[in-house]
Amino acid sequence: MFDLIEDNIHRFKKIVFVTGAGISQESGIPTFRGKDGLWRNHDAMRLATIDAFYDNPKLVWEWYNERRENIFQAHPNAGHKAIAELEKYAEVVVLTQNIDGLHQKSGSSRVLELHGSIVKIKCSVCDYKEEIFREISKLPPLCKCGNVLRPDVVWFGELLPQEVWKNAINFANNCDLMIIVGTSLVVSPVNTLPIYAKQNNATLVEINPEHTVMSENMDIIIRNTSAESIPKLVSLFKNKS
Ligand code: NAD
């Protein structure tokens, strides 16, 4: 699989990574799938919704407080670091569904956060927004306007920040290599990004230990973890430079 990338490496100048929860799994941050997707017997996919928040904001905040603590202690792994290093050899943009900030921590300079960020908090009613790095003690936290504050993340069923999404499509439309890492590709609209890339004749690479709903549409598949595979892939660019 790596030889197919190596043979075409001269064509790959504009590289887009589309990343999901799996790339941070080796940093100790659970994904939403399988046994990892349960928190106190609640399904993560159901908790990450506006309905769950309005039903029980305290419960959803307790979950986010634990996620915040876990994420604040996590470090970028070899996969994140290799993506940052690739900027020395090619034009690289990271389109991430992750809210953990680990790409930025590892030194990637162009990261579009499609689903927001766990450090950001916003009012569920007014325009108030802020970044909070400490633990939030009184749950649910309230805004000065009296309404409930919520994590500034995109929950299932919510719209993506439109300016960020427009830019993401633009990068996908113009890349010549798209590397899709650690995402099940079941979350829309992010799972349409490979289609935009294909319209530009880009090569699609999937890095994931498991089959995904779009595996059949990939040009190259690497069935391994991201911390194992991305450094190998980046070393091909390093050796050619
Ligand atoms: P997902 O949970 O649906 O899928 C995770 C994918 O990662 C799976 O296909 C799995 O096979 C793969 N995977 C697991 N371990 C891997 C590894 N070590 N290397 C490479 N791949 C690995 O994740 P998703 O597609 O990102 O969608 C779920 C939503 O969950 C997103 O909206 C995202 O915002 C949110 N989320 C984010 C984080 C985070 O910020 N770290 C964590 C959990 C969920």
Query: Domain holding 125: CATH number?
Result: 3.30.1600.10
Cβ contacts of 107 within 8 Å, gap of 6 or more: 81, 84, 85
Query: What distance in Å separates the CA atoms of residue 87 and residue 8, rounded to the nearest whole number?
Result: 18
How many domains in the chain? 2
pTM: 0.96
Given this model, what pLDDT does residue 103 score?
98
The residue whose CA is least distant from atom 19 of ligand 1 is 225
Could you tell me which of 61, 28, 26, 29 has the C-alpha nearest to residue 42? 61
Given this model, what pLDDT does residue 38 score?
82
The residue whose CA is least distant from atom 3 of ligand 1 is 184
pLDDT digits 0-9 by tens, 20-57: 999 999 999 999 887 778 888 889 999 999 999 999 99
Query: What distance in Å separates the CA atoms of residue 44 and residue 33, rounded to the nearest whole number?
Result: 8
Given this model, what pLDDT does residue 41 score?
84
Query: What distance in Å separates the CA atoms of residue 187 and residue 48, rounded to the nearest whole number?
Result: 12
Tell me, in angstroms, the distance from the centre of ligand 1 to residue 183's CA. Answer: 5
Tell me the mean pLDDT in the region 182-197: 96
Do 53 and 124 share a structural domain?
A: yes
Do 167 and 110 share a structural domain?
A: yes
Do 67 and 167 share a structural domain?
A: no
Question: Which one from 75, 80, 115, 211 is the annotated catalytic residue?
Answer: 115
Mean of per-residue pLDDT scores for the chain? 95
pLDDT digits 0-9 by tens, 200-209: 999 999 999 9
Identity of the residue numbered 56: N
> In this structure, how many other beta carbons lie within 10 angstroms of the beta carbon of residue 128?
14
- Quick one: 91 exposed, middle or buried, by C-beta within 10 A (0-12, 13-18, 19+)? middle
Tell me, in angstroms, the distance from the centre of ligand 1 to residue 174's CA. Answer: 25
Do 103 and 3 share a structural domain?
A: yes
Q: Are strands 116-123 and 149-153 parallel, antiparallel or unpaired?
A: antiparallel
- Asked whether the bond before 30 is cis by omega within 30 degrees of 0, the reply is no
Lining residues, ligand 1, CB within 6 Å: 20-26, 29, 31-33, 97-100, 115, 181-184, 187, 207-210, 212, 225-226
pLDDT digits 0-9 by tens, 131-165: 999 889 899 999 999 999 999 999 998 999 999 99
| Two tokens, residue 67 | 């996620």
Given this model, what pLDDT does residue 40 score?
85
Task: Give the atom of ligand 1 at the shortest distance from the alpha carbon of 115.
Answer: 34
Cα 47 to Cα 32, 64, 104, 155, 241, distances in angstroms: 10, 10, 26, 9, 46
Given this model, what pLDDT does residue 181 score?
98
Do 107 and 36 share a structural domain?
A: no
- 180 phi and psi, to 5 degrees? -105, 115
The residue whose CA is least distant from atom 39 of ligand 1 is 98
Do 143 and 93 share a structural domain?
A: no
Q: pLDDT grade, residue 62 (50/70/90)? A: very high
Which residue range is the domain that position 209 belongs to? 1-27+76-115+160-241
**Which residues of 154-224 form beta strands (DSSP E)?**
177-181, 203-207, 220-222
Given this model, what pLDDT does residue 36 score?
77
80 is catalytic: no
Q: Ligand 1, from 25, 27, 31, 223: best to mutate by most atoms within 8 Å of Cβ?
A: 31
pLDDT digits 0-9 by tens, 81-135: 999 999 999 999 999 999 999 999 999 999 999 999 999 999 999 999 999 998 8
Given this model, what pLDDT does residue 78 score?
98
Tell me, in angstroms, the distance from the centre of ligand 1 to residue 230's CA. Answer: 16
Query: What distance in Å separates the CA atoms of residue 143 and residue 192, rounded to the nearest whole number?
Result: 36
